Amino acid sequence: MKVFKDIEQGTPEWLNLRKGHPTASRFSEVLTATGKLSKQAQGYICELIGETFCPEFEYWKGNAYTERGKELEAEARDAFATHTGLKVEQVGFCLADDGLLGCSPDGLIVGSDGQYVAGVEIKCPTPKTHVAYMLGDGLPDEYRQQVHGSMVVTGLSEWHFWSYFPNMMHVYVIVRRDDYTEALAASLAAFVKDYRAAYDLAVPRLRIGPPPS
């Protein structure tokens, strides 16, 4: 994988870097949490093609809940590092070896040899949602594709899920590669093939440049 360390998430540079790249936060539109192919895949392909040539395209900017999550993310990351004793490095974007699939981890975990050994997905939800995670069994379904997809993108075999709310008990789940990871990888490979074919068909009609390499 290729890691972009010096690009801050949420900046114009980060948004431009992600354009046209299927990213882990949207892999639910490729495969469902139960392992079925998503009916949203074709629409996602059209969106990816469209955003590569539309300079005024704007991403969803979020709401009060997502803004609060952003404000707490650094605090949550520090709490994770303190609790686990792990070294966490903040990065902007990760690009898979295929040059197309990507993800924006909330942190990459650095091993004693200086190499990346895992990643972390951090959530700072509402109290209601945090309690639901606390009462749940393992990784919440709504993040299954994102977490397993991040392992597919990076090639790492382990990902940590951390839900944080100040003055509440944290929710900590360690996720490892399994059959679902491999099923998602296969579905993503098929999705990429369909995406490239659709892009090649669209280029002469839209008069746009080559797809992301």
Residue 62 has pLDDT above 80, yes or no: no
Confirm if 160 and 172 have CB atoms less than 8 A apart: yes
**Looking at this protein, which amino acid is placed at residue 124?**
C
pLDDT band with cut points at 50, 70 and 90 for residue 40 = very high
Residue 202 has pLDDT above 60, yes or no: yes
pLDDT band with cut points at 50, 70 and 90 for residue 81 = very high
Confirm if 104 and 14 have CB atoms less than 8 A apart: yes
Write down the mean pLDDT value for the chain: 92
Residue 198 has pLDDT above 80, yes or no: yes
Mean pLDDT of 201-209: 77
**Least reliable range by pLDDT among 31-40, 74-83, 93-102:** 31-40
**Domains of the chain, earliest start first:** 2-206 (3.90.320.10)
Mean pLDDT of 18-44: 94
Q: Which among 96, 88, 104 has a CA at the least distance from the CA of 25?
A: 104
Residue 53 has pLDDT above 90, yes or no: no
Residue 54 has pLDDT above 60, yes or no: yes
**Looking at this protein, which amino acid is placed at residue 62?**
G
- Count of alpha carbons within 13 angstroms of residue 60, beta-carbon side: 8
Confirm if 191 and 43 have CB atoms less than 8 A apart: no
Mean pLDDT of 129-155: 97
* pTM score, whole prediction: 0.90
How much of the chain, in percent, has pLDDT values that exceed 90? 80
Residue 184 has pLDDT above 90, yes or no: yes
